[in-house]
A and B are shown apart, each in its own frame.
Chain A
Amino acid sequence: MTVREALNSALDEEMSADPKVFLMGEEVGEYQGAYKISKGLLDKYGPERVLDTPITEAGFTGIGVGAAYYGLRPIVEFMTFNFAMQAIDHIINSAAKSNYMSAGQMNVPIVFRGPNGAAAGVGAQHSHCYAAWYGSCPGLKVLTPYSSEDARGLLKAAIRDPDPVIFLENELLYGESFPVSAEALDSSFCLPIGKAKIEREGRDVTITAFSKMVGHSLKAAEILEKEGISAEVINLRSIRPLDRATINASVQKTNRLVTVEEGFPQHGVGAEICATIVEDSFGYLDAPVERIAGADVPMPYAANLERMAVPQVEDIVRAAKRVCHRSVPLAAAA
């Protein structure tokens, strides 16, 4: 199942199960979704539940938050999270903080979803990763699916969750296909929010990643395996709340950590993970933590410059080796 199909089926099932759930955004209806995620939904549920909005992120985000205050369960789609910036006041000052400010009287069961981070050749205003931005804000939950199973389980959880959820997808993953278990295909399937997944077990180094970078990390792990380094790859799945327990347990096992993210380094997700390790697992570290992040520049467009600005598999491999203090492969040890 492709990630696109996974998201579409999750939307379909949740809309079917709960009449209060509705979808709105630019091009989500007649056009079947700018990335075809909402394909077929307008035909099935009608224009009252799949709303094509005019071009005003601030406008329709505000409307969505209002609908959520009233008790509906809106799913607001941003054509890309870059454009959500035009609505950020509604997201942060209204959606994230209302429950707290109203002492629990106004809750906001809303989901904001759309592509996040770099695509290919789309320049600075279409490539920003907002995981760290939203991840720093109390009141929000922030999810970053990687595989189709992640997409299904986490989106269903997000829609059912009573709190505002930021659901960060990735354009380049939409077309990727992943095997999906029978359990995951069931309409009651749901993944817990706040739990990371160990995609690949290992003994020598922990690599944390989310979204597209999980794929890169898994490829890096295969290369490292051939060179005698066994890497444990953690798919974070949830940026806020961050699964500190799983990450710490892993580092306590491997004693080494490489954090990987596409976004900018300063105040990034990796910085937070590093802090949590220093706080809870300092004594277990055999080497300083390595952070792999995007270049600290607005994303350039030219193909060669863009390639330099985003982490590649080789960067992860080299970081893992540095952290293991090895530049030549060792023979497999017990």
Chain B
Amino acid sequence: MWSARSKAIGDYVKRCVCSNGRFMAGLVDHRSNPFGSSLASGVAETSRHALPFPCNMAAPFLVRRFESTLAGKQLELLHAGDADDDQALDFPGGKVTYTPEMKFIWENYVKRVPCYRVLDENGDQIMGSNFKEMSKEVALKMYNDMVTLQFMDTIFYEAQRQGRISFYMTTIGEEAINIASAAALNDDDLVLPQYREPGVLLWRGFTLQDFANQCFGNKDDGGKGRQMPVHYGSKKHNYLTVSSPIATQLPQAAGIAYSLKMDKQDACVVAFIGDGGTSEGDFHAGLNFAAVMEAPVIFICRNNGWAISTHISEQFRSDGIVVKGQAYGIRSIRVDGSDALAVYTAIHTAREMAVSEQRPVLVETLAYRIGHHSTSDDSTKYRPLDEIEYWKMARNPVNRFRGWIEKKGWWSEKEESELRISIKKQVLQAIQVAERTEKPPIAELFSDVYDQPPDNLREQETELRETINKYPQDYPSGFPF
């Protein structure tokens, strides 16, 4: 008799599921293939006040004011499930099966999460790999931008060494992550960078002159000379201004994604973070809440092996960052960050998942940080020179992608040398122009502190102008007033 009753419950529950056409967490096995399978769109309805019996279903128990009358029903269901108590625990959050065997989940994995890649070191497609096809136009733009990024980095770095700009950070080794991820996104997707993703801006149309103007802090800088070099930002390009404190962008990304979701926009949010940044408390808050809020955000973790001089082994003891995704209930993947096609494909798919299923996705890219942390760092002090050289020469993402486009007949030596000459010239010119351009006017010292300048700031500006007029010898010439 008990088993008959429990079967009835089972049928009832199944009917509830089917009638709503939604997948219930805890009832249906949600281990799905991250590629290709199109899951039914729609939001999983989870009651915020999960009642402790098998059905998380909102439908019959939707309205809280009926709770008192449900008491009887609840008891019935609880007792009906007694036969199942031997196998499973009905607990807030879902059903958990019992086991008589005491077994710890070991801290290390027998096998680490594998890394998705499409191209080998020579740019040949690996047998059995699948990837998202792209047009010749897109592929060439990607390659162009990767080379531009390389040149920009090399020459701006030199400019800092020459004392022409005060600071710079390169993206060397991570060009594929920058450009391929940007190429896989839509222009409407909001990007929250950490600081090593100028390639995304480059892809979206930020010019070399724009980059140079920011680094020189001149009057043509869209950022009004407010920020130190490489702290780019552009509302027009949906790229939030770089903020120095690490990982603050992660919970912010979850918040923005939630707003997109409420507004039902066909867009997602993309937040970048480094391997070191995942140690911050904000990493936990950002991922955890993105999962709970079912927010359409892609977290891209650029694992480049180093956080200034702190090696990965001193940063965490987990199998990288990809395994942390599942801990938050977030779909995740590990990708070869030096493989532009793999990055492109993974991000493209992640985006589809994020937007159509309204869920967060975690992508861990692996690509060595070939450059120093910044111009204030000399990484040869803490890592061997031949290790750096190896990744630069043998595992370079730009070379690899060039191999692929050449083999497709889309690129040649001649075009390569023409491109290099042209880009070098453009970068040098951008720097020269930026250097000669005037600095921002004094009014920009006081604007944007608030929406409307308050009285005290207006007073300060007046006083300052009066002081400058009265004591011009105390103020350097050549600065615009």
A301 x B457 contact (CB < 8 A):
no
**How far apart are the CA atoms of A85 and B307 in the complex, in Å?**
20
B449 x A297 contact (CB < 8 A):
yes
Number of A residues, CB within 8 Å of B: 38
Render A284-312 as a binary contact track against B, CB cut-off 8 A, 1 for contact. 00000000000111101111110111001
Given A301-B225, A301-B226; A54-B276 close (CB under 8 Å): yes
Render A35-60 as a binary contact track against B, CB cut-off 8 A, 1 for contact. 00000000000000000101110110
Residues of A with C-beta under 8 A to B221: 302
Residues of A with C-beta under 8 A to B218: 302
Rounded to whole Å, the gap between the CB of A58 and the closest CB of chain B is: 5
B445 x A54 contact (CB < 8 A):
no
Residues of A with C-beta under 8 A to B276: 54-55
B225 x A31 contact (CB < 8 A):
no
Within 8 A of A (CB), among B184-228: 217-218, 221, 224-228
Residues of B with C-beta under 8 A to A301: 217, 225-229, 231
Rounded to whole Å, the gap between the CB of A86 and the closest CB of chain B is: 6
B480 x A304 contact (CB < 8 A):
yes
Interface status of A82 (Cβ within 8 A of chain B): yes
Interface status of A122 (Cβ within 8 A of chain B): yes
**How far apart are the CA atoms of A126 and B226 in the complex, in Å?**
12
Within 8 A of A (CB), among B434-479: 439-440, 442, 444-446, 449, 456-457, 460, 464, 467, 471, 474, 476, 479
Given A55-B246, A83-B245, A295-B445; A124-B227 close (CB under 8 Å): yes
Residues of B with C-beta under 8 A to A124: 226-227
**How far apart are the CA atoms of A295 and B314 in the complex, in Å?**
41
B246 x A31 contact (CB < 8 A):
no
Rounded to whole Å, the gap between the CB of A50 and the closest CB of chain B is: 13
Given A125-B245, A302-B440; A309-B228 close (CB under 8 Å): no
Residues of B with C-beta under 8 A to A305: 217, 225-226, 439-440, 442, 444-445
Within 8 A of A (CB), among B128-144: none
Residues of B with C-beta under 8 A to A30: 309, 382
Interface status of B244 (Cβ within 8 A of chain A): yes
**How far apart are the CA atoms of A304 and B441 in the complex, in Å?**
9
Number of B residues, CB within 8 Å of A: 48
B244 x A126 contact (CB < 8 A):
yes
A54 x B279 contact (CB < 8 A):
yes
Render B56-84 as a binary contact track against A, CB cut-off 8 A, 1 for contact. 00000000000000000000000000000
B279 x A56 contact (CB < 8 A):
yes
B471 x A318 contact (CB < 8 A):
yes
Interface status of A232 (Cβ within 8 A of chain B): no
A297 x B231 contact (CB < 8 A):
no
Residues of A with C-beta under 8 A to B476: 304, 307
Among A31, A124, A308, A312, chain B packs the most CB atoms within 10 A around the CB of A308
**How far apart are the CA atoms of A295 and B463 in the complex, in Å?**
12
- 8 Å CB contact of B479 from A34, A304, A312: A304
A302 x B244 contact (CB < 8 A):
no
Given A56-B279, A86-B245; A300-B225 close (CB under 8 Å): yes
Interface status of B277 (Cβ within 8 A of chain A): yes
Given A59-B279, A296-B456, A304-B479; A82-B225 close (CB under 8 Å): no
B445 x A59 contact (CB < 8 A):
no
Residues of A with C-beta under 8 A to B224: 300, 302
- 8 Å CB contact of B315 from A54, A123, A300: A54
Residues of B with C-beta under 8 A to A58: 280-281
Q: Is the interface of A mostly helix, strand, loop or mixed?
A: loop
Interface status of A26 (Cβ within 8 A of chain B): yes
A52 x B442 contact (CB < 8 A):
no
**How far apart are the CA atoms of A83 and B218 in the complex, in Å?**
27
**How far apart are the CA atoms of A181 and B281 in the complex, in Å?**
45
**How far apart are the CA atoms of A125 and B233 in the complex, in Å?**
15
A26 x B449 contact (CB < 8 A):
no
B440 x A31 contact (CB < 8 A):
no
B439 x A31 contact (CB < 8 A):
no
Interface status of A204 (Cβ within 8 A of chain B): no
Q: Is the interface of B mostly helix, strand, loop or mixed?
A: loop
**How far apart are the CA atoms of A300 and B226 in the complex, in Å?**
4
Among B224, B225, B457, chain A packs the most CB atoms within 10 A around the CB of B225
A296 x B449 contact (CB < 8 A):
yes
Residues of B with C-beta under 8 A to A85: 245
Interface status of B167 (Cβ within 8 A of chain A): yes
A123 x B439 contact (CB < 8 A):
no
Given A27-B310, A55-B280, A126-B228; A121-B166 close (CB under 8 Å): yes
Residues of A with C-beta under 8 A to B225: 300-302, 305
B228 x A54 contact (CB < 8 A):
no
Within 8 A of B (CB), among A50-91: 52, 54-56, 58-59, 82-83, 85-86
Interface status of B394 (Cβ within 8 A of chain A): no
Render B300-329 as a binary contact track against A, CB cut-off 8 A, 1 for contact. 000000011110001110000000000000
Residues of B with C-beta under 8 A to A120: 166
Residues of A with C-beta under 8 A to B111: none
Given A31-B381, A125-B244, A301-B226; A52-B445 close (CB under 8 Å): no
Residues of A with C-beta under 8 A to B244: 82, 123, 125-126
Residues of B with C-beta under 8 A to A34: 308
A300 x B444 contact (CB < 8 A):
yes
Interface residues of B (CB under 8 A from A): 166-167, 217-218, 221, 224-229, 231, 243-247, 276-277, 279-281, 307-310, 314-316, 381-382, 439-440, 442, 444-446, 449, 456-457, 460, 464, 467, 471, 474, 476, 479-480
Q: List 6 A-B contacts (CB under 8 A).
A: A27-B309, A30-B309, A302-B217, A302-B224, A308-B464, A318-B471
6 nearest interchain CB pairs? Answer: A302-B225, A302-B217, A54-B279, A121-B166, A304-B479, A123-B228
10 extra interchain contacts, Cβ-Cβ under 8 A, other than A27-B308, A295-B445?
A31-B308, A54-B316, A56-B279, A86-B281, A123-B226, A295-B446, A296-B449, A301-B231, A305-B445, A308-B442
